[in-house]
Amino acid sequence: MSGIIAQSNIIVIIGMGVTGRSVARHLRARGKAFVWLDTRAAPPALAEIQQEFGELNFELGELQLDTLMAASEIILSPGVPAATPALRAAEQAGIPVIGDIDLFLREAKAPVVAITGSNAKSTVTTLVGEMAVASGRQVAVGGNLGVPVLELLQEAGTDLYVLELSSFQLETVQRLNADVACILNISEDHMDRYDSLAHYHRAKQRVYYGARAAVYNREDPLTAPPQAGGVKYFSFGLNPPDRHGFGLVRDRDEEYLAFEFKPLIAARRVRLAGRHNLANALAALAIGYAAGLPMAAMLSTLETFAGLPHRCQWVAEHEGVAWYNDSKGTNVGATLAALNGLQPEAGKIVLIAGGVGKGADFSPLQAAAAGLRAVVVIGADGDKIARVFEPLLPVLRADSMAAAVQLAGQQAESGDRVLLSPACASFDMFKGFEDRGRQFEQAVREVIA
């Protein structure tokens, strides 16, 4: 510890990760004094922080209530639960506890599109951003995806912000006042942080507070926004749409994406692969329409946008077996969406799954068992996933990604698909989901060489 808080009415930053560093840069640029806290005894970025910021006050380890009580404001990073007892005590004493989103909203001058959900946030956020670019807008895209929101403020001339927001980020937001807000879907995630699905759901619902327009998934009741006067409501889903809805219709034996009762584009022309990605395309259309983007530019983007790395990404095909990297499938809902989206007309799927389960219930995966040929499990909670499938189909265990790919290749038959979609976080075996996906792709290349 290089120093402690020595005066009252000073800002406290909690967390030395990517978000905390963006907050510190933001405050420093505005001449604000702060003390920096981190609940870890040895934050991995501490040396880099000291090199970037020089002399600074910081405290490491358990949060000290005296420090929090002396603060004029506490700025909390998403990785630290707002329910931490010391934070609760400070908040009850009248100390404001906010996040980087609140700081961003104080200075953002352009309309905000806010997107959250258990799955597909990054794909839809990026797709809406691409639609805005095609529309000629000066758009800044970030949040939980890529660039921290406070760094977006540095982009000159921005006339639209498109933000991916996690439940962690939303916990501290009182009134987002987004131009357009959307919850894509809700399924169990982060059950190691939330005590129930209802608790998690309440955090997600905060995205709608103060919204001018709300977009929801009409096939997922948990995404439905609260009803408020003056708010415009739009829905999306894979079923036929009604008024103010985007969905799928059939016309002359062909499936189309449609708005209300008007076909817009043939589903086969959407470049994103998989039926779950048709839902993502419909969500993006609904969000873009609510934000005032022209339909022609949005439909053109659907014909060219191929998706993001590690999100149901085609890797290779060899001897009739196609390999897909869905390393970003870090919860059960995401993996079910990938399995349903890639279900082939013939053949079956060999699934590679496992990692850190975050307290999730894996039993819903059993619903996809009929379309699976085998399951290969890895990681800390691999045995929990194995128990879901062992009565129904072959389950194999692997202690590395290379071994998992080898076993999956041995199980797959011509016409099958091998899918890495772990339904788990990655930090037991990998540096992150990107590292996990890269190791999968490298192992696939070695197997088919």
Residue in 57, 144, 185, 280 annotated catalytic: 144
d(CA 299, CA 288): 11
C-alpha closest to that of 311 among 332, 334, 328: 328
Residue 304 corresponds to which tokens in the numbers above?
A: 């060219």
Active site residue 276: no
Taking alpha carbons only, the member of 189, 215, 203 closest to residue 125 is 215
Q: Distance (Å, rounded) from C-alpha 338 to C-alpha 123? A: 13
Nearest by Cα to 11 from 92, 80, 78, 100: 100
Helix, strand, coil proportions of the chain in percent (round to 5)?
A: 35, 20, 40
Phi-psi region at 162: left, alpha or beta (left = phi > 0; alpha = psi -120 to 50): beta
Superfamily designation of domain 103-302: Mur-like, catalytic domain (3.40.1190.10)
pLDDT string in tens for the chain (449-residue length): 333 444 457 899 999 999 999 999 999 999 999 999 999 999 998 999 999 998 889 999 999 999 999 999 999 999 999 889 999 999 999 999 999 999 999 999 999 999 999 999 999 999 999 999 999 999 999 999 889 999 999 999 999 999 999 999 999 998 999 999 999 999 988 988 999 999 999 999 999 999 999 999 999 999 999 998 999 999 999 999 999 999 999 998 999 999 998 999 999 999 998 889 999 999 999 999 999 999 999 999 999 998 888 988 889 999 999 999 999 999 999 999 899 888 765 789 999 999 999 999 999 999 999 999 999 999 999 999 999 999 899 999 999 999 999 999 999 999 999 999 999 999 999 999 999 999 999 999 999 98
In whole angstroms, give the CA distance from residue 209 to residue 119. Answer: 21
| CA 375/CA 411 separation, integer angstroms | 9
Give the Cα separation of 70 and 175 in Å (integer): 26
- Residue 177 is among the residues annotated as catalytic for this protein: no
Cα–Cα dist 244/80, whole Å: 38
Orientation of helix 121-134 relative to helix 275-290, angle to 10°: 50
Task: Please tell me the distance from the alpha carbon of residue 45 to that of residue 47, in angstroms, as a whole number.
Answer: 6
**Structure token digits, residue 326:** 């869905």
Q: Say which of 190, 276, 310, 358 is annotated catalytic.
A: 190
CATH architecture observed for domain 10-98: 3-Layer(aba) Sandwich (3.40)
Residue extent(s) of CATH 3.90.190.20 domains in the chain: 313-448
Residues forming CATH 3.40.1190.10 domain(s) in the chain: 103-302
Residues across the chain: 449
DSSP calls for 347-381: S-EEEEE-SB-TT---GGGGGGGGGEEEEEE-STT
Helix (H, G, I), strand (E, B) or coil at 220: coil
- Rounded to an integer, what is the distance from CA 236 to the centroid of its chain? 19
d(CA 168, CA 401): 30
DSSP-derived secondary structure for 155-179: STT--EEEEE--HHHHTT-S----S
Task: Report CA Rg, the chain.
Answer: 23
Angle between helices 121-134 and 295-302 (to 10 degrees): 130
Phi, psi for 5 (deg, rounded to 5): -65, 130
Confirm whether 331 is a catalytic residue.
no
- The separation between CA 330 and the C-alpha centre of its own chain, rounded to angstroms, equals 9
C-alpha to C-alpha distance for 108 and 134, rounded to whole angstroms: 22
Maximum Cα interatomic distance, the chain, rounded to a whole number of Å: 74
Q: Which of 26, 119, 121, 310 is catalytic?
A: 121
DSSP state of 222: G
Q: What would the CATH number be for the domain defined by 313-448?
A: 3.90.190.20
Amino acid identity of residue 248, one-letter, is: L
Q: What is the pLDDT of residue 224?
A: 97
pTM of the model: 0.86
Q: Can you tell me the distance from the alpha carbon of 365 to that of 167, in angstroms, rounded to the nearest whole number? A: 23
115 φψ region: left (φ > 0), alpha (ψ -120 to 50), beta (else): beta
State how far the Cα of 5 lies from the Cα of 333, in Å rounded to an integer: 44
* CATH 3.40.50.720 domain extents, the chain: 10-98
